[in-house]
Amino acid sequence: MRILNKNLNSKKKVTVIGGGIIGLATACRLAQDRFDVTLIDANKSKNRASIATAGIIGGSSVIPWANDHLWKKIPSMVLSKDGPLKVKLPLPKDFMSFIFKSHKAGSNFEISKSSKGLAELGLKGWVEWQSLLKPHRKLRRFFTQNGCLLYYSDNDEYLNEIENNHLRRKRGMKIRNLKTKDLFLKIPQTCDKKPSGTLILKAGHLSDPLKFQDSLTKELKKKGVKKIFARANSFELIENKIKNVITNKGKIICDYVIICSGTGGKDLAKELGSKVSMIPAWGTSIILKKPEIKIKLPILIEKKGFAIVPNSNDLRVAGLVQVGGKTNNRNMKFENILLNQVKKIFGSFKYKGIASATGARPLTSDSLPVVGRSPYFKNAFFNFGHGHWGMTHAPVCANIISNLIRKRKNKINIKPYDISRFN
């Protein structure tokens, strides 16, 4: 019976819209399940969220970005010269509606509900990546599981994180508080006199997210996945099914369609009659080439909203977010802000050069992604809106989509991610 299903799957054409990490993981799983997969990638210029990722897997993945604590910090974040949040005109469409819904989602009850939904995805990310890449063992060399460090420069910062750490433990994260002497063993080059930290034990990072994505793309090509650089604009619909995906380069016939197009998912979902409360937020990251600083695990500075991550022989710094504006151009001011965050911890240091990247992160108003079947078209599925947790969520949500198509029961409750919650 299983063989028959595989033969049947081989005849089914699946179109995955979106060539970022979510689309790649989804295409990988469906190709392994013997579907005929076509991957549509509109971002040949590489301005997707995955280009500016920190590459952390399972770090702070149970804390919704929409929460009461963050709302209190936003004014200081925006007004601070070196703050992690910038606001520019023009603002995104439906911005005020998004703000209202986000504020509502930041209530204690909603935080609890959102954190539970995030935990279902975030705590499984590392294990599911290893499972997904089992046929591609060479790609597993990019993954390092040394944990993830929440860094506090003083005791006041630590005290402000007690509630979040309580929530992390409640949701099943394995964490351990570090005293100053323990922290010095982890990052001996810090120049803070009395730092402390919280170690997230079952977390890790990608040594080079971009090389990993390029390598995964090549592996998928070997497995028969067809990649097309085109922009999906709409669909040819017959009754309650999608017949063709209409792109700027022609039509693509399909049996199933999975929308994994990040910030573009909102407009494509609208084409299928579904609303999503979501805005793009431009994230910036830098790569410091061969710095004098050597760290073995990612460092999250929660108060400032920045991450410092090992990147092979380099150092990756991410976290600055711009809401509004329309640009993915290099911004020297943003680069300096990120660089200064590293210097605040490690002091002055030498490095060989600097590179930067900017990508649009899709933020939903309740912090949860959109994953599941279209309520109106039975062969259409959604997998987008993962914010800054795409690397962690990707393999888990790829499995969810595969199970839905194959009519297999998912082991987790996927109702919190259903697109109908925005209606």
170 contact partners, CB below 8 Å, separation of at least 6: none
**Whether residue 1 has pLDDT greater than 50:** no
State pTM to two decimals.
0.94
Residue 391: which domain range? Answer: 2-422
Rounded average pLDDT over 108-129: 92
Per-residue confidence (pLDDT) for residue 158, from 0 to 100 = 86
Give the pLDDT score at 41: 95
Residue 234's pLDDT is what? 97
Distance CA 294, CA 139 (A): 24
pLDDT at residue 326 greater than cutoff 90: no
Q: Mean pLDDT across the chain, nearest whole number?
A: 91
- For residue 5, pLDDT over 90 is answered with no
pLDDT of 91 reads 92
Instruction: Specify the number of domains making up the chain.
Output: 1
What mean pLDDT is predicted for residues 222-243?
96
What pLDDT, on the 0 to 100 scale, is given for residue 40? Answer: 97
Residue of 58, 72, 69 lying closest to 171 (CA atoms): 58
CATH number (domain holding residue 237): 3.50.50.60
pLDDT at 111: 87
Instruction: Inform me whether the pLDDT recorded for 363 exceeds 70.
Output: yes
* Dist. CA 109–CA 176, nearest whole Å: 26
Distance, in Å, from the CA atom of 386 to the CA atom of 394, rounded to the nearest integer, reads 9
pLDDT band per the 50, 70, 90 thresholds, residue 79: confident
Q: Is the dihedral of CA 73, 279, 360, 385 positive or negative?
A: positive
- Residue pLDDT, tens place only, 194-207: 899 999 999 999 99
Give 187's Cβ-side CA count (13 Å radius).
35
* pLDDT score of 257: 98
Can you tell me the mean pLDDT for 291-305?
91
Q: CA 257, CA 245: separation in Å to the nearest integer? A: 8
